[in-house]
Structure 1
Amino acid sequence: MIVVAGEALIDLVVSAEGERAVPGGSPANVAVTLARLDQRVRLLARIGPDEYGRQLTEHLDANQVDLAWAVRADQPTSVAVATLNAAGQASYEFRLEGAADWQWTPQELPDLTGTPATALHTGSLALALAPGAQVLEDLLARERQRDALTVSIDLNLRPSIVSDRAAEQERVRRQVRHAHLVKASDEDLAWLHPDRSAADVMAEWRDAGVLCAVVTRGGDGAWLLAPDGTLHEEPAVRTTVVDTVGAGDSFTGGLLAALADLDALGDRPADRLAAVTEPQWEAVLRQAATVAALTCARRGADPPRRAEVEALLTTPN
């Protein structure tokens, strides 16, 4: 079982066709992607009591995301306004003040000891916004120390909300030390470290104990720095882009699902990830890129199901 922790919010998507409210939030999108790829997934989220919270619950239930550890919160649901340009690329504005997602207390988190969890994934605003961010960071630290599951982080930075670059540099530097796998976009790194190359940052993460570092590069594909120091590059899968909402999240879900299929998630994470061969890393990246491309080909954060991914992966170029 893969445990995903973090926000489940509503994306209010604004386009030339009007407005529509759809379930979203980076960790929730990752959880849905994993479930559609036939992975058992449980979401640690705080879900509000309002109509948006009901919509989120129905969406997650319909996608077989386990909500046994979800908290039924008293606070309202967060809203992200996603405005699409003519090319389908999304820019975001957030309505987060006093919302449910950021109010974690230590008592609300389960003890993962003795559970069937093989990985813990989180990231995005859940690791950036107080007071809940510190609670989740402490969870990551405990799990890294326990060495009984794989810890994964997707930076997914939001400079429009958390704009103090120096503070974010320190936060990320501190949090990646707790992770075995870290994923970021080239846009994340360009904002976080405008004077440094992605390769330099990935090498720094490796020195800090990150076993696998991944940088997505939009239409230019993705890089993966493997535990043995080998850099793998995967081109983007060609597609007709409808919009990019949820593309990065679906890439992360595709990546984790591929590793789960290889039995590369679980206890003794260093040994498991070190056992992944070079051809397997290439296949992992290819699956993640394919999942992201299929998501870009339709409206909103609507990741593909396993059969769709396998059909495209087996189609001759």
Structure 2
Amino acid sequence: MTSPASHVLVIGECVADIIRTDGAPDRVHPGGSPANVAYGLARLGRRATLLTELGPDANGRLIRAHLESAGVRVRAAEVERTPTAVVRLDGQGRAEYAFDIGWTLPSAAGEPDGFAEEPAAVHLGSIGAVTEPGAAAVLALVERWRGRAEISYDPNVRPALMGERTEAVRRVERCVALSDLVKASDEDLAWLYPGERPDAVAERWLALGPAVVAVTLGAGGAFARSAAGERVGAAAVPVTVADTVGAGDSFMAALLHTRATGADLTTCLSHAVTAAALTVSRPGANPPSAAELEAALTDGRESYSDAGAG
């Protein structure tokens, strides 16, 4: 268990999300699942460093400024151009992605001796954890930090980039086995393991080594299982959805942050689903600040108390 004041190293891609809806001009938002997690952690008051790649272009400058505005320390290898994703939103705000992305993180970029401060936690996920040639450098780095830092992982599956399913499952399960905490969505699991129940997959992943596996269920809330036998769930917080961009990343950031305080699994899950709800209530990957999350949790507790008294 880490301290809430401790340093978190997040490893993975930055992506410029080009939000496209019919009849409206394109909007560009800073994105990329690991970048969103780092930003979400910093918004919650954690000290976070993002090890990533950025191009020397307008999108790269936009993303760096966005991350640094929240206090994220950006450590970026330079690439020719910043990756992009065209994000198409349907009538319910659900997102579909078309990527233009590579991941070539050089192994020297993440040498542990190059960090001024040793992280208490390391988070990896999405494209950067499974896309070669950069994924090899990411996993080598995680292997070196394992045992010295708590490892967390979110597969954040992008089917168009995952290749053949059997090999994708092998890569994902390798990351699961390296991790102490894993989060996935029901959509991730449905692509990786067609026809299998999310709770069955969670139990099988626990057997690979993590202490906790959490699964988000969209409007169905979330559940978590632990190696110690805990089985907890949390209902989704009702909100009007602007779009779903970044919801899972906000969930992950709040889960990591709350877990670091020593809170029990039920509390961690409650904070995570509330953070996700705040994010989907506004456009783009815009996770809550610590004050916003606390206010929403307080409102929820008061609403529950009022309902109980009625």
Tell me the TM-score normalized by structure 1. 0.89
Does 2:81 align with 1:80? Answer: no
2:286 to 283, 286, 302: 302
Q: CA deviation at 1:18?
A: 2.3
Aligned equivalents of 2:60 and 2:117: distance in 1? Answer: 27
Change (3 A) 1:37 1:166: same
Q: Which position in structure 2 is the counterpart of 1:20?
A: 27
Deviation at 1:118, TM superposition (A): 1.0
Instruction: Report the AA paired with residue 95 of structure 1.
Output: D
Aligned pair count reads 293
Which amino acid counterpart does residue 141 of structure 1 have in structure 2?
Answer: E
Q: Give the secondary structure class of the aligned counterpart of 2:73.
A: coil
1:271 is matched with which residue?
Answer: none
Secondary structure class of the residue paired with 1:187: helix
Quick one: distance in 2 between partners of 1:32 and 1:243? 18
Query: 2:275, 2:293 within 8 Å by CA — same for their partners in 1?
Result: yes
CA distance in 2 between partners of 1:195 and 1:13 (Å): 31
Q: What does residue 129 of structure 1 align with?
A: 131
- For residues 137-185 of structure 1, what are the alpha-carbon distances to aligned partners after superposition, in whole Å with 9 as ceiling and x for unaligned? 12222222xx111000001011122231111111112221110111100
Contact 2:111 2:141 in 1 (8 A): no
**Structure 2 residue 57 is matched with structure 1 residue 50:** yes
Aligned match of 2:10: 4
Matched, 1:257 2:263: no
**Using the alignment, how far apart are the partners of 1:244 and 1:187 within structure 2?**
13
Root mean square deviation, CA, Å:
1.4
Show the counterpart of 1:219.
219
CA distance in 2, matches of 1:185, 1:163: 19
Q: What are the Cα deviations for residues 95-127 of structure 1, in whole angstroms up to 9, with x where unaligned? A: 12xx4xx11121111316883411000100001
1:314 corresponds to which residue? Answer: 298
Are 1:39 and 2:46 an aligned pair?
yes
Question: Counterparts of 1:61-100 in structure 2 under 5 Å?
Answer: 61-67=68-74, 69-71=75-77, 73-96=78-101, 99=102
Are residue 193 (structure 1) and residue 220 (structure 2) matched? no
SS at match of 2:172: helix
Paired with 2:282 and 2:94, the residues of 1 have a C-alpha distance of 12
Q: Point out where structure 2 has 5 or more consecutive residues left out of the alignment.
A: 1-6, 304-310
Partner Cα distance (2:211, 2:204) in 1: 11
One-letter amino acid of the counterpart of residue 244, structure 2: T
Cα distance in 1 for partners of 2:30, 2:175 equals 27
Q: Secondary structure at the match of 1:70?
A: strand
Match of residue 108 from structure 1: 109
Amino acid in structure 2 at the alignment position of 1:143: W
Alignment of 1:132-211 (within 5 A): 132-144=134-146, 147-211=147-211
Structure 1 unmatched runs, 5+: 263-275
Q: Distance in 2 between matches of 1:288 and 1:80?
A: 25
CA distance in 1, matches of 2:118, 2:106: 23
CA distance in 2, matches of 1:196, 1:87: 26
Query: How does the TM-score come out when normalised to structure 2?
Result: 0.91
The amino acid of 1:164's aligned partner reads: E
Letter paired with 2:133: P
Kindly provide the amino acid, as one letter, of the partner of residue 124 in structure 1: S
CA deviation after TM superposition for structure 1 residue 46, in Å: 1.2
Task: Output the CA distance in 1 between the equivalents of 2:274 and 2:99.
Answer: 29
Is the Cα contact below 8 Å between 2:179 and 2:210 reproduced in 1?
yes
TM-fit CA distance, 1:283: 0.8
Cα deviation, residue 74, structure 1: 3.4
Partner letter of residue 45 of structure 2? Answer: D
Deviations 1:183-242 (A, max 9, x none): 100000011001322122111111111110010000001011123121111111111101
Q: Percent identity?
A: 39
In the alignment, the residues of structure 2 paired with residue 257 and residue 205 of structure 1 have an alpha-carbon distance, to the nearest angstrom, of: 22
Which stretch of the first structure deviates more once superposed, 162-171 or 296-305? Answer: 162-171
Matches of 2:117 and 2:42, distance apart in 1: 18
